[in-house]
Amino acid sequence: MRDIIVSLIIVGLFPACFRRPFVGLCVFTWLAYMRVQDLTWGFAKGQRWSYYVAILMMAGYFLGRNRKRFFRPDPRCYLMIALCLWVGVGVALSTGSHGKQVNSYLEFVKIIMIALFTTGMVLNRDQLRIILWIIALSLGFYGVKTGVGGIVSGGAPVIRGPGGLLADNNDFSMAMAMAVPMLFELGWTERRPELRKAFWFAVPLTVLTVGLTRSRGGFLSVVAAIGTLVWRSRNRLMGIMIGLLIALAAFAVAPKDYKERLATLKNPTEEGSANSRLVAWGIATEMALDNPYFGVGLTKFRQHYHDYSDSPDRAGKKIVAHSSYFQIWAECGTVALVMYGILVISALWTCWKVRRMARARYFSSWIINYATMFEASLFAFLVGATFLNRAHFDLFYHWVSLIIAFGYIAYDEMKNESAHPVQTGARGAVERLERPGFPRTGQARLPDRAWGA
């Protein structure tokens, strides 16, 4: 019965995905992060729903009469295209190419295409809000579901995630850490108390879910996310005090085995799993130095590992780079690593610049909250990516694309309000929160300025 219901819902959305590509993007995002098909057990589970939606969405876009640009003419969009092409050249030049490598590259191309398409489809504040709601609630669903399950089971560990890009235990933990700022800040921007409480209700359960995964990288990611939220709070001292109290309470109730696992972070060379990461990073560095331009080829770290290792078991049973940065450096070359770093730095710069501009205009604003949310979630990924082999993690590129769209939308709103000043109260205390509901808005283009805005 569940398979039939899920299938009918998705198939019923197909016509809308074709007629309105933005709706298709929303459905694709929902399927990617909530993985509703993984909540079934029968025929619906194995269907490639995201693939079908993507075909309909792209067909509707290219066949539509009022077709707009596929992506914004932003330097970072062109940089993502260049990165995709560079990795492709590395795949073509790598030795011993095989089906798995080609499939991985095609998956990467799909990720970049969706990211670019997002910048072209998300043109106003309401559309940005809808996409963020879908991502936050999709991840928050698993945060609440897993957190409640952990309480009922007495803290039983989570072995794996729901599936797809969240199937791996560590990936699931990092995504949950990224979801914490989303749920918290989206709650702050809501006018309706019931919605605000619903978002905030999911925050502690999502943090608990990170702990249930027993992932040390996830732990560091959620610490980075919460630390950024505290640092950006209005009353920083109070935020630090509350954060420390919550941390002490969480540590007091944490299972003994989890405490012992976290304690290994103090001396990584004395613990097998952590030490294997240091070894893998050293080998990845050697690979990158020997192949500085295009690397050894996408997914070829394992194949070339034994050429640099004294012992086949030196880095443990799972032979990976154990870091997104070392992974992209070794497999795709120094140029790809530099492009990746520019994407990260420019995305953070947009958050910082927009936030600074908004704080000069408003006492409180959805723009300030969104900038903090984007920054905190990005920091959560950057910390988690230090220990995880996820240079091509879907959510990272999607998040960068949303930050690009956010920069243009926020800049445009502030520019329009500067041209038409509003009456302010004492000390210019203007407050800008979300409007109730999701009103239909036009698809007007935004100015092509605001690089880094």
Q: Give the separation between CA 14 and CA 156, rounded to whole angstroms.
A: 39
The 10s digit of each residue's pLDDT in 8-23 is 999 999 999 999 999 9
Q: What is the pLDDT of residue 448?
A: 36
Q: Is the pLDDT of residue 166 over 90?
A: no
The DSSP letter of residue 117 is: H
Q: How confident is the model over 26-55, as a mean pLDDT? A: 90
DSSP strand pairing (364-365 vs 431-432): parallel
Q: What is the pLDDT of residue 258?
A: 66
- Provide the number of structural domains found in the chain: 2
Beta strand segments in 301-393, E:
364-365
Q: Give the separation between CA 74 and CA 76, rounded to whole angstroms.
A: 5
Is there a contact between 363 and 430 (Cβ–Cβ < 8 Å)?
A: yes
Q: What is the pLDDT of residue 112?
A: 95
Q: What is the pLDDT of residue 437?
A: 57
> Tokens 């936030």 identify what position?
355
Let me know whether 242 and 97 are in one domain.
yes
Q: What is the pLDDT of residue 124?
A: 93
Let me know whether 60 and 199 are in one domain.
no
Residue at a domain's end among 67, 96, 125: 67
Greatest mean pLDDT range, 68-72, 247-251, 273-277: 68-72
> What's the pLDDT band for 430 if we cut at 50, 70, 90?
low
Let me know whether 150 and 214 are in one domain.
yes
Residue percentage of the chain with pLDDT more than 70: 83
Q: Is the pLDDT of residue 182 over 60?
A: yes
The DSSP letter of residue 95 is: T
Q: Give the separation between CA 55 and CA 110, rounded to whole angstroms.
A: 11
> What's the pLDDT band for 267 if we cut at 50, 70, 90?
low
Q: What is the pLDDT of residue 446?
A: 37
Let me know whether 305 and 222 are in one domain.
yes
> What's the pLDDT band for 252 if we cut at 50, 70, 90?
low
Q: How confident is the model over 40-57, as a mean pLDDT? A: 89
Let me know whether 41 and 91 are in one domain.
no
The 10s digit of each residue's pLDDT in 369-386 is 999 999 999 999 999 999
Let me know whether 22 and 151 are in one domain.
no
3-state DSSP assignment of residue 453: coil
Q: Which helix (H) or strand (E) holds 432?
A: strand 431-432
The 10s digit of each residue's pLDDT in 186-217 is 988 888 888 888 898 999 899 988 888 888 88
Q: What is the pLDDT of residue 314?
A: 47
Q: What is the pLDDT of residue 441?
A: 42
Is there a contact between 365 and 430 (Cβ–Cβ < 8 Å)?
A: yes
Let me know whether 272 and 333 are in one domain.
yes
Other CB atoms within a 10 A radius of the CB of residue 294 amount to 22
Q: How confident is the model over 138-164, as a mean pLDDT? A: 86
Q: Give the separation between CA 173 and CA 214, rounded to whole angstroms.
A: 9
Q: How confident is the model over 290-303, as a mean pLDDT? A: 89
The residue among 418 and 156 whose pLDDT is bigger is 156
The residue among 414 and 68 whose pLDDT is bigger is 414
Q: Give the separation between CA 95 and CA 3, rounded to whole angstroms.
A: 43
> What's the pLDDT band for 445 if we cut at 50, 70, 90?
very low
Residue at a domain's end among 32, 49, 67: 67
Let me know whether 8 and 38 are in one domain.
yes
Q: Locate 246 and state its tokens.
A: 């919550």
Q: Locate 304 and state its tokens.
A: 């070339």
Let me know whether 218 and 140 are in one domain.
yes
Residue at a domain's end among 43, 67, 91: 67
The residue among 152 and 375 whose pLDDT is bigger is 375
Question: How far is C-alpha 79 from the geometric centre of its chain's CA atoms?
Answer: 18
Q: Give the separation between CA 243 and CA 239, rounded to whole angstroms.
A: 6
Is there a contact between 324 and 389 (Cβ–Cβ < 8 Å)?
A: yes
Q: Is the pLDDT of residue 220 over 70?
A: yes
Q: 121-135, 341-355, 381-395: which has the minimum mean pLDDT?
A: 381-395
Q: 189-198, 275-284, 370-379, 437-446: which has the minimum mean pLDDT?
A: 437-446
Q: How confident is the model over 320-347, as a mean pLDDT? A: 93
- Within 8 A by CB and 6+ apart from 14, the residues are 52, 53, 56
Q: What is the pLDDT of residue 419?
A: 54
The residue among 401 and 388 whose pLDDT is bigger is 401
Is there a contact between 339 and 82 (Cβ–Cβ < 8 Å)?
A: yes
Q: What is the pLDDT of residue 162?
A: 81
Q: Is the pLDDT of residue 301 over 80?
A: yes
Average pLDDT of the chain to the nearest whole number: 84
Other CB atoms within a 10 A radius of the CB of residue 99 amount to 7
Other CB atoms within a 10 A radius of the CB of residue 432 amount to 20
Let me know whether 263 and 379 are in one domain.
yes
Q: Is the pLDDT of residue 365 over 50?
A: yes
Q: How confident is the model over 84-105, as a mean pLDDT? A: 85
The 10s digit of each residue's pLDDT in 55-72 is 999 999 999 877 778 999
Q: Give the separation between CA 196 and CA 185, rounded to whole angstroms.
A: 9
Q: How confident is the model over 107-117, as a mean pLDDT? A: 94
Residue 96's φ and ψ, nearest 5 degrees, are 65, 40
Let me know whether 158 and 63 are in one domain.
no
Let me know whether 62 and 77 are in one domain.
no
Q: Locate 322 and state its tokens.
A: 């154990």
Q: Is the pLDDT of residue 278 over 90?
A: no
Domain encompassing residue 271: 73-453
